[in-house]
């Protein structure tokens, strides 16, 4: 802030509005003194506002935790699940014990029988067929770290094999924990070696140490044949001028960062060239010339290749040290090399490269707590003669003089309160721009304007100016809080703050908001507020895992009643406000029914809802039911009503207590048997109940079935008579260009089926359903084709049962059993038998237009209005 500019503009304003009464603008005038004082105070506000952002966000206690709530760190927000081949190679190389890894497309071929129009596992002999190679299946080839000399001496062959098996298992677990949607693992094997023999005569300098030169030569040749890949610390990556986004690009590695350049230099060679090796040797200090060099395979001693040696496909060339014939000369005199010393030096060089490092997060530094809200009232800056400061007036001051001083204090208090509120707002910037919220903060009432009371210690006599000073900032009293809140539109303003934060991640909720407003009106703004907070809370996972599939391999994760779902499911669920995205039963709500026996001896049923954490009854049925099934229907209705805040009816007892019921069309369906002292306590209880029901009793959810995972094991089918050609084991195929049932010539590769419940309150709405379908297609990776099915509760229940059985058997690796094959056949049958359920539309005439018009592909045909 520019003090001189403020003073000049202030004088200009005084001249404009008060020039007829006020003509003395010299510095001795009290009015000019007050103007200068206000200008100084405003410049102080400007100074505090211009403080470094990290200082404005700092807190006196738990400063580190505060910053973690304000920002996601580089390691949290920048990495993503493996996508490219290099990403997966990094994932495997990061496992201690694995030196390198390569990925290739796996061979999985089915055959289209033109006569039966089905897929089979073996070529039909009597009919014409078309081979179908599936995409999205990969084989992984691993190169393990070489055994150290100590390990070679101590490990038995059995222990060495156990080590290999353990590393292959770790790689398999790593892949399935980071599997992409519509992709799968074919096999993981150790890459076969092709051992290379090199014979060379090398002249070295007279002063050269032959053992050191030999170690350098062997190391250089090994790096050429099969390079060691070094991982770097964050400091080393920054020193190499890598930008932060490139450093953390790809999967987050725990054992150091791995630049793509290092992977590009470690490709499998198809040819070994003598010229390359000569160039490597000539670059070594102490080497004069390479007199002769020959290449050969170790298992073909009579071979001879002077310039080029081919390497078999998908084989790793490696130098056989025991057969290497490398001779040194100083001029024409042969030099003896102590081989054991040279090998020790070689191992030292290898250990330097293989030295384990640890990845670290970027430390962006913490701010200093500056207590920007601390405010000193203006009266402290006035001369003592004004009589408004801490020293007050002399004892002999007249009543008129004391009244004038109070008038000036009252005048200054107006400015003090505004300036203090500004600083309170500035000190709470951290509350407005945050990306992480606790469970309680997700649903609490938002506040976007902040204030603070002028402290009595800093403003002598303030109690005489404000008669209710003791309660001036307490809620419920018609003073400062109510005055501030009358200007606040907390839901609207909080949504705008969250929209700003979301836009920084290139995300938006505008389409979702429009759909909710069309369904629920203004109430939608509060629901969207919670949805946006949840989305920001989970954004690192939502962003990182958006292309990820679920993990069906690792036994330490569940496949049902679990959040182990694809990243696409997680993301879409949050974008449409589904509170519980777990894979679970959604066709039937879990009932909490209890039986009570009255004095008349008749069995009667009630329902209730209990918080498992506190064992508190949150809701009870308002009626008794003689039939359990009727009670279950009422419970399901109550859960549906509780998820919508418009179905709560607030009541007041004769003695001023607050309580509420859950109603439908004026009828009480359920009640809360608890009375609250204040309306705020009752509103908090309603908010908690609504969030609890939405999370634990929501019938909203959906399932994603990846077709590539439904492929059977061809080798197993061939061992069971007739199953290799049984069409029930394969997805239906359609060779025509026009296929309206979701089939295709290749029904497996990069295809998913999305199963949605058709009968939930929101999903019955045609507009909202159309929005969801559009969102699914937008959020599905571009190379993946989704088929969307809307099922009623009956068909959904059949699908859930078949899907769960298949998932559990697949995780238990029981697919190559009669039970596994039967589960696969049942899932395929249901998946292609079910048909989408659409809302009923009505034909209507011009006189009485229908509220649910016929929409092509969106509704079922109804009846014309009479």
Map residue 20 onto helix, strand or coil.
coil
The pLDDT of residue 483: 77
CA dihedral 578, 579, 581, 587 (to 10 degrees): -70
**Residue 507 pLDDT > 70, yes or no?**
yes
pLDDT, tens digit, 9 for 90 and up, residues 301-350: 666 777 899 999 999 999 988 888 899 999 889 999 998 899 899 988 88
CA distance 297 to 303: 7
pLDDT, tens digit, 9 for 90 and up, residues 750-760: 999 999 999 88
The pLDDT of residue 851: 59
**Residue 387 pLDDT > 70, yes or no?**
yes
Quick check: 801 and 755 in contact, CB under 8 A? no
pLDDT, tens digit, 9 for 90 and up, residues 555-572: 888 999 899 999 999 999
**Residue 281 pLDDT > 90, yes or no?**
yes
**Residue 413 pLDDT > 60, yes or no?**
yes
**Residue 582 pLDDT > 90, yes or no?**
yes
The residue written with tokens 């009570």 in the block is 596
Every domain range in the chain assigned CATH 2.30.29.80: 593-696
CA distance 729 to 732: 9
The pLDDT of residue 302: 65
| DSSP-based helix, strand, coil % in the chain, nearest 5 | 40, 15, 40
Q: How confident is the model at residue 855 (pLDDT cuts 50, 70, 90)?
A: low
Which among 797, 791, 794, 800 has a CA at the least distance from the CA of 834?
791
Q: What is the mean pLDDT of residues 630-653?
A: 86
In Å, how far from its chain's centre is CA 401? 67
Q: Following DSSP, what letter does each residue of 613-665 receive, concatenated?
A: TTTEEEEEESS-BSSHHHHHHHHHHHHHHHTSGGGEEEEE-TTS-EEEEEEET
Which among 688, 648, 683, 694 has a CA at the least distance from the CA of 668?
648
CA–CA distances in Å: residue 312 to residues 45, 139, 196, 324, 525: 74, 17, 12, 20, 64
The pLDDT of residue 476: 54
Q: What is the mean pLDDT of residues 635-662?
A: 88
- Average pLDDT score over the chain: 88
Question: What is the separation, in whole angstroms, between the first and last Cα of the chain?
Answer: 73
Q: Which of 142-146, 460-464, 740-744 has the lowest mean pLDDT?
A: 740-744
Q: Which of 21-25, 253-257, 676-680 has the lowest mean pLDDT?
A: 21-25
Q: How confident is the model at residue 62 (pLDDT cuts 50, 70, 90)?
A: confident
pLDDT, tens digit, 9 for 90 and up, residues 133-182: 999 999 999 999 988 888 888 999 999 999 999 999 999 999 999 999 99
Q: Which of 134-143, 151-160, 187-196, 732-741 has the lowest mean pLDDT?
A: 732-741
Q: Which of 158-162, 450-454, 462-466, 611-615 has the lowest mean pLDDT?
A: 611-615
What is the spatial order of strands in the sheet that 785-791 belongs to?
Answer: 703-706, 751-757, 785-791
Quick check: 342 and 218 in contact, CB under 8 A? yes
Quick check: 527 and 519 in contact, CB under 8 A? no
CA–CA distances in Å: residue 452 to residues 49, 424, 466, 472, 481: 17, 6, 15, 10, 9
CA distance 417 to 413: 6
Q: What is the mean pLDDT of residues 415-436?
A: 92
475 vs 59 pLDDT, higher one = 59
CA distance 281 to 560: 59
pLDDT, tens digit, 9 for 90 and up, residues 216-254: 999 999 999 989 898 999 999 999 999 999 999 999 999
The residue written with tokens 């007041």 in the block is 652
**Does the domain made of 593-696 have the CATH classification 3.40.50.620?**
no
Angle, helix 30-49 to helix 399-427, in steps of 10 degrees: 20
CA distance 713 to 185: 12
The pLDDT of residue 56: 92
Show the tokens assigned to 389: 């400061």
The pLDDT of residue 838: 74
**Residue 594 pLDDT > 60, yes or no?**
yes
pTM: 0.84
CA distance 316 to 267: 9
Q: 854 CB contacts (<8 Å, ≥6 apart)?
A: 841, 842, 843, 861, 862
132 vs 150 pLDDT, higher one = 132
CA distance 219 to 344: 12
Q: What is the mean pLDDT of residues 624-638?
A: 85
Percent of the chain with pLDDT over 70: 93
pLDDT, tens digit, 9 for 90 and up, residues 83-117: 999 999 999 999 999 999 999 999 999 999 988 89
**Residue 862 pLDDT > 60, yes or no?**
no
**Residue 779 pLDDT > 80, yes or no?**
yes
Quick check: 642 and 632 in contact, CB under 8 A? no
Quick check: 174 and 247 in contact, CB under 8 A? no
The pLDDT of residue 852: 61
The pLDDT of residue 866: 40
pLDDT, tens digit, 9 for 90 and up, residues 286-310: 999 999 999 999 887 666 777 899 9
**Residue 209 pLDDT > 70, yes or no?**
yes
Q: How confident is the model at residue 630 (pLDDT cuts 50, 70, 90)?
A: confident
| 562 secondary structure, DSSP code | B
686 vs 738 pLDDT, higher one = 686
């Amino acid at each position: 802030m520019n003090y001189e500019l403020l003073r000049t503009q202030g004088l200009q304003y005084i001249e404009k509005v008060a020039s007829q009464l006020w003509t003395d603008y010299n510095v001795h005038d009290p009015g000019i003194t007050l103007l200068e004082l206000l200008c100084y105070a405003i410049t102080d506000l400007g100074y505090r506002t211009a403080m470094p952002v990290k200082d404005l966000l700092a807190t006196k206690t738990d400063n580190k935790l505060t910053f973690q709530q304000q920002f996601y760190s580089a390691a949290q927000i920048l990495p993503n699940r493996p996508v490219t081949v290099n990403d997966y190679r990094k994932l495997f190389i990061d496992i201690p014990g694995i030196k390198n890894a390569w990925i290739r497309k796996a061979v999985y071929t089915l055959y289209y029988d033109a006569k039966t129009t089905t897929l089979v596992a073996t070529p039909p002999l009597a009919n014409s067929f078309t081979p179908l190679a599936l995409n999205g299946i990969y084989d992984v080839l691993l190169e393990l770290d070489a055994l150290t000399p100590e390990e070679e001496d101590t490990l038995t062959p059995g222990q060495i094999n156990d080590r290999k098996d353990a590393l292959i298992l770790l790689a398999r677990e790593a892949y399935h924990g980071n599997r992409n949607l519509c992709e799968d693992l074919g096999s993981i094997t150790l890459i076969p070696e092709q051992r290379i023999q090199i014979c060379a005569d090398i002249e070295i300098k007279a002063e050269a140490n032959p053992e050191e030169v030999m170690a350098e030569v062997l190391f250089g040749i090994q790096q050429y044949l099969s390079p060691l890949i070094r991982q770097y610390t964050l400091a080393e990556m920054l020193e190499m001028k890598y930008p932060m986004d490139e450093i953390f690009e790809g999967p987050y590695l725990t054992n150091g960062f791995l630049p793509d350049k290092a992977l590009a230099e470690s490709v499998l060679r198809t040819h070994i060239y003598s010229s390359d090796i000569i160039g490597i040797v000539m670059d070594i200090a102490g080497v004069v010339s390479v007199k002769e060099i020959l290449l050969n395979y170790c298992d073909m001693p009579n071979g001879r290749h002077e310039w080029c040696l081919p390497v078999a496909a998908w084989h790793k060339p490696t130098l056989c040290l025991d057969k290497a014939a490398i001779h040194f000369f100083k001029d024409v005199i042969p030099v003896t090399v102590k081989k054991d010393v040279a090998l020790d030096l070689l191992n030292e060089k290898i250990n330097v490269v293989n030295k384990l490092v640890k990845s670290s997060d970027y430390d962006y530094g913490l701010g200093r707590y500056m207590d920007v809200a601390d405010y000193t009232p203006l009266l402290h800056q006035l001369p003592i003669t004004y009589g408004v400061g801490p020293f007050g007036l002399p004892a002999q001051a007249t009543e008129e003089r004391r009244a004038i001083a109070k008038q000036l204090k009252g005048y200054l208090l107006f400015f003090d309160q505004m300036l203090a509120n500004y600083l309170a707002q500035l000190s709470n910037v951290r509350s407005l721009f945050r990306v992480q919220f606790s469970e309680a903060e997700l649903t609490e009432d938002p506040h976007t304007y902040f204030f603070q009371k002028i402290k009595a210690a800093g403003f002598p006599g303030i109690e005489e100016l404000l008669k209710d000073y003791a309660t001036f900032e307490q809620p419920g009293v018609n003073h400062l809080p109510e005055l501030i809140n009358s200007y606040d539109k907390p839901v609207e303003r909080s949504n705008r703050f969250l929209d700003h934060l979301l836009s920084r991640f290139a995300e938006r909720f505008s389409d979702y908001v429009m759909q909710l407003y069309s369904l629920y009106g203004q109430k939608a703004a509060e629901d969207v507020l919670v949805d946006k907070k949840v989305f920001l809370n989970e954004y690192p996972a939502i962003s990182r895992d958006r292309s990820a599939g679920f993990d069906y391999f690792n036994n330490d994760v569940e496949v049902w009643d679990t959040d182990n779902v694809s990243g696409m499911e997680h993301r879409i669920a949050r974008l449409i406000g589904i509170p519980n995205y777990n894979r679970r039963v959604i066709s039937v709500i879990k009932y909490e029914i209890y039986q009570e026996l009255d004095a008349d001896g008749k069995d009667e049923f009630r329902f209730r809802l209990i918080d498992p954490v506190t064992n508190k009854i949150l809701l009870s049925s308002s009626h008794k039911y003689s039939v359990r099934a009727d009670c279950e229907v009422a419970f399901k209705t109550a859960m549906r009503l509780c998820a919508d805040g418009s179905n709560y009816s607030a009541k007041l007892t004769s003695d001023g207590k607050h309580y509420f019921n859950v109603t439908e069309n004026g009828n009480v369906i359920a009640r809360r048997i608890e009375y609250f002292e204040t309306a705020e306590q009752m509103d908090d209880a309603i908010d908690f109940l609504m969030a609890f029901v939405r999370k634990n009793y929501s019938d909203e959810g959906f399932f994603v079935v990846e077709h590539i995972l439904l492929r059977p094991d061809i080798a197993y089918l061939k061992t069971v008579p007739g199953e290799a050609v049984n069409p029930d084991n394969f997805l239906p195929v359609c060779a025509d260009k026009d296929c309206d049932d979701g089939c295709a010539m290749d029904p497996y590769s990069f295809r998913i089926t999305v199963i949605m419940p058709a009968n939930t309150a929101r999903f019955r709405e045609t507009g909202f359903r159309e929005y969801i379908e559009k969102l699914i297609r937008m959020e599905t990776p571009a190379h993946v084709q989704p088929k969307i099915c809307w099922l009623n509760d009956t068909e959904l229940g059949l699908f859930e049962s078949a899907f769960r059985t298949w998932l559990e058997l697949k995780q238990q690796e029981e697919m190559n059993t009669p039970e596994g094959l039967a589960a696969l056949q049942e899932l395929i049958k249901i998946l292609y038998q079910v048909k989408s359920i659409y809302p009923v539309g009505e034909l209507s005439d011009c006189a009485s237009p229908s509220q649910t018009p016929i929409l092509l592909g969106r509704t079922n045909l109804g009846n014309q209005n009479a």
